[in-house]
Amino acid sequence: MDFASLLGIISGLALIISAIIIGGNADVFVNIPGLMIVAGGTIAATLLTVQFKDVLNAFKAAWIVFTRDKTNPQEMIDTMLELSRISHRHGLLKLGDIETNSHVLRRATNLLAEAASEQVIRNTLQNEIDSLIARHFTVQDVFKKMAMYAPAFGMLGTLIGLIQMLSVLSEPESIGPAMAIALLTTFYGSLLATVVFLPIAGKLRARTLVEVTNLEIIREGCISILTNDHYAHVYEQLSSYLPEDSRKPLRMGKSSEGADTANTKKASK
């Protein structure tokens, strides 16, 4: 569970709702037709812009981001270092027996066990990185478009409300309530864009950067293992992906084979 995301959404909505309740009657902020215009219009426009499967994938990805912890790049570095130890102790063929939840790491270890060339490994893993970036861009784009459409439909709802208000100018007592209802759709659109859609897009982009870093660590680690680099050289190369104050010190002590294999299971999906 990504508690930072959950805390952000809950605290943001709680503060807004509290401000509404403290300011007066909260019932005036509920308008079903306005919600229909903003929510329905945003969804309709998004479906017209992108494919239906992309919209479903976007919401699935958002759910995964908020419910599944990300793999820290340091954990991936530790995994690659353990693979380097196994390779030096038992040979590349032993890497084919490694169990991991990451299909990319599984593919990489199979290539190493098959003694694939450096160019094949580099190209294969680079294709995985490029494919991940393309998929994640599509997902992020869905929420960015929804963040763009929501305020636009909020303004459209306001215009509809103003037109309806101007049609009853002969009744002055109804102008105030009608104006409040007209402005509500703009409020709904801005709320959805700034509290929901844009933060989700930003969170997805941040998760993409982490996953790309993990895949790059796998790529460079596998190439170092293939070229039989020293354990310390592998560490120095991979640790450059982390800020200096986040790097764990290198430990040259030996660990058991069982521990080595277990650590590879920490790899991200």
In this predicted structure, the answer to whether residue 212 has a pLDDT above a threshold of 90 is yes
> Domain residues of the chain, as ranges?
1-30, 31-266
Q: How far apart are the C-alpha atoms of 132 and 90, rounded to whole Å?
A: 32
CA 38, 43, 45 angle in degrees (round to 5)? 95
So what's the pLDDT on residue 218?
Answer: 92
Q: Which of 134-143, 169-178, 236-245 has the lowest mean pLDDT?
A: 169-178
Determine if the pTM surpasses 0.85.
Answer: no
Scanning 114-193, the segments in alpha helix (DSSP H) are 118-166, 175-191
pLDDT for 262: 43
Which residues neighbour 256 within 8 Å (Cβ) at sequence distance 6 or greater?
none
